[in-house]
Structure 1
């Protein structure tokens, strides 16, 4: 795909490819229609075809000024407009929120947990071994993509509540047993998922900061759309603000990221034992 479309590709994040998944971004609907037509012609000239059923359109109108009356058209067919769509395992919302993705990660964790409940709820298996299984099979499903979340307290709390329900069932306890969460975690040797989320965010932040200025991930982090004005009321929480709070909690500075080994050591959250 890269070779076939090399001449029409734009820099990230205005054009992004992953295998045969394509993301096209523009500031106006007219510009997006133009890009879509150019890509359709380029691919069809090579014997390929853009899917008419899987192609979706989402408008993130943060400034409330962009856009126009035009629809997004692909070969005389109007592309359906979505408020939420799934891309590479994560859900993206038009308002930039993450509630849908948080719910999806929790559901994904429960799917993994239920598929292994015969092992995780077996009283004959040691809690420590159950914890190891949980950390290798269930927790990664819940943490996928969380390093990019501008997470709020309610999101972290929701993830933590779901995890504690899993851990209590694994140990055969309910809330009626009045056993503290810390004791449950000590039995299965599992650190709070909220802290592992923070570790993931800071690890990803360190990776971005160490990349060269022309790296795609760096360009995506630094992109700014001119002319967008903040609306009334309290400003929305940004990923950068969350990172600043994370570093303040751990008492570390941004310049430490250049020392990869020390950065990893300082942000690591060890599971209890």
Structure 2
């Protein structure tokens, strides 16, 4: 490997750039890639769990030539452009304007809508064993050619892989050379795109004939709060959803265990034909029956092996529960943020807290359906971190509102409102064929809502945020069409909401402080015990009796 850092090419000026341009042009003409641009040095990184003497407890990080990565980036820009025409809408990984939040949002919305309409939902989270390393290269080149990529272009991609060698670095020493003859090139910017193209063929081959898919009604030309929009059947469309993909992470879903078993079998057979392997020990099933009902007790199998059933699953870093609550997600986010917060020293400023801790704490918050109790848990952690940074102790008797003002940061509810309103605006501006938008504006094709009180829905939270910000719930979609004006409106309204909230809390606190302390007359019975003169209830402490007397006074 040439061992030239990327900064050499970035800051060395036109001379190096022109020489590199001539070299890249020569590589394009002769269709030969220098060996240094192919080879990799693998550094091991401990995963943080497992036996330190087991190679499986380490993750390999490939260090590649910077010049080779520049050419690979140029190729990948052209590779991705055509790939967008063939990749399925359900593939959210390593594509423009998409990310993990898209996939998490779709899963949570389908959970919510299934519960709302009293429909079962069964999900299978499929784990592929070393998927990127198992891709048969000759099959990949053939697929690229069938997709219409020019032979010269495919051959140049092939040259990055043919004859590739790697060495493992351990304590500043390098191992012997290892021939890498299968899989896409790890660490290369082209690898995710190449795998997505290949895996899309695998999934299409597996699921093209699967029937009885999960179906929802979609209509996006009316407001999300317009509950009557689905009455016009001719203006709504039916969307079938079978899988959600993020690179090699697969979530299969159905409202029937029998159908889900057929999907698993079809994907298993297709993976075998295309050289990929599904791990039966790491593939897990999550069942979500309607509230008050018992889940289907069937056991799903992969190649004859039973699959583990779980009550929650960590999907793309977010905890998905069988009851669609945040009971596992909020503590997990707080624990992860606390672990990062513990690494900060006393001189760390609020800006570092915003950059390092809040993103960990609020990862996936755009998709959450938050109750007030959930917000309170997050706000408690938020204020505890700020007090620690500012060195404010509880005995200093400084209010939470003053802590937020000194830190020049909003409270947790305002931070969550900004994320969720920004995300909803992003969904609204998506193209009509985007899956998150379709699911957001949908309802289940079958089933009906139960009578009486309903569980909190995502759009209920959205309406709560809009009302708090003073944004008309019937006008928000018109405002959100324009990204900059929506962002400005959200930021200004949230700032006004937060200032008003803090002022209101200050007033309430002052009223509590100014309230005259009541003087209680404590009464004792003949046995010397404290008791209430109104109801003769016995108490062990004066504190308990005083609280009880206040309850009488309120009545």
Confirm or deny: 8 A CA contact 2:318 2:364 kept in the other structure.
yes
Residues 1:156 and 2:375 are matched in the alignment: yes
**2:246 maps to what in 1?**
18
Residues 1:130 and 2:353 are matched in the alignment: no
Q: 1:92 and 1:257 mapped to 2: Cα distance? A: 29
State the SS of the aligned residue for 2:287. Answer: coil
Q: 1:75 aligns with which of 297, 300, 303?
A: 303
Distance 1:80-1:37 versus aligned 2 partners, 3 A rule: same
Confirm or deny: 8 A CA contact 2:265 2:302 kept in the other structure.
yes
**2:258 maps to what in 1?**
30
Residues 1:146 and 2:397 are matched in the alignment: no
List aligned pairs for 1:57-136, cutoff 5 A: 57-62=285-290, 68-116=296-344, 118=345, 122=346, 125=347, 130-136=349-355
Residues 1:219 and 2:417 are matched in the alignment: no
Deviation string for 1:144-185 (max 9, x for gaps)?
101111101001111001111111111111221110112222
User: After alignment, is 139-148 or 228-237 more displaced?
Assistant: 228-237
State the SS of the aligned residue for 1:92. Answer: strand
Q: 2:385 and 2:291 mapped to 1: Cα distance? A: 41
Distance 1:12-1:220 versus aligned 2 partners, 3 A rule: farther
Confirm or deny: 8 A CA contact 1:29 1:67 kept in the other structure.
no
Q: 2:283 and 2:245 mapped to 1: Cα distance? A: 14
Cα shift at 1:266? 1.4
**1:259 maps to what in 2?**
482
State the SS of the aligned residue for 1:228. Answer: coil
Confirm or deny: 8 A CA contact 2:261 2:301 kept in the other structure.
yes
Q: 1:213 and 1:174 mapped to 2: Cα distance? A: 52
Confirm or deny: 8 A CA contact 2:205 2:270 kept in the other structure.
no
Q: 2:331 and 2:380 mapped to 1: Cα distance? A: 12
User: After alignment, is 86-95 or 189-198 more displaced?
Assistant: 189-198
Stretches of 4+ aligned residues off by more than 6 angstroms: none
Cα shift at 1:69? 4.2
User: After alignment, is 78-87 or 246-255 more displaced?
Assistant: 246-255
Confirm or deny: 8 A CA contact 1:61 1:67 kept in the other structure.
yes
State the SS of the aligned residue for 2:446. Answer: coil
Q: 2:446 and 2:315 mapped to 1: Cα distance? A: 27
State the SS of the aligned residue for 2:449. Answer: coil
Cα shift at 1:38? 0.1
Confirm or deny: 8 A CA contact 2:369 2:461 kept in the other structure.
yes
Structure 1: unaligned runs, 5 residues or longer: none
Q: 2:458 aligns with which of 239, 243, 267?
A: 239
Q: 2:258 and 2:352 mapped to 1: Cα distance? A: 51
Residues 1:170 and 2:389 are matched in the alignment: yes
Deviation string for 1:69-124 (max 9, x for gaps)?
421111111111111110001001111111211111111110110011x2xxx2xx
Q: 1:196 aligns with which of 412, 415, 423?
A: 415
TM-score in terms of structure 2 length: 0.45
State the SS of the aligned residue for 2:308. Answer: coil
Q: 2:309 and 2:414 mapped to 1: Cα distance? A: 36
Distance 1:64-1:227 versus aligned 2 partners, 3 A rule: farther
Confirm or deny: 8 A CA contact 1:163 1:193 kept in the other structure.
yes
Q: 1:224 and 1:97 mapped to 2: Cα distance? A: 19
Distance 1:113-1:13 versus aligned 2 partners, 3 A rule: farther
State the SS of the aligned residue for 1:2. Answer: helix
Residues 1:5 and 2:218 are matched in the alignment: no
Q: 1:13 and 1:136 mapped to 2: Cα distance? A: 36
Q: 2:241 and 2:416 mapped to 1: Cα distance? A: 25
Residues 1:49 and 2:247 are matched in the alignment: no
Aligned pairs, number: 263
State the SS of the aligned residue for 1:50. Answer: coil
Determine which structure has the larger strand proportion and give its number.
2
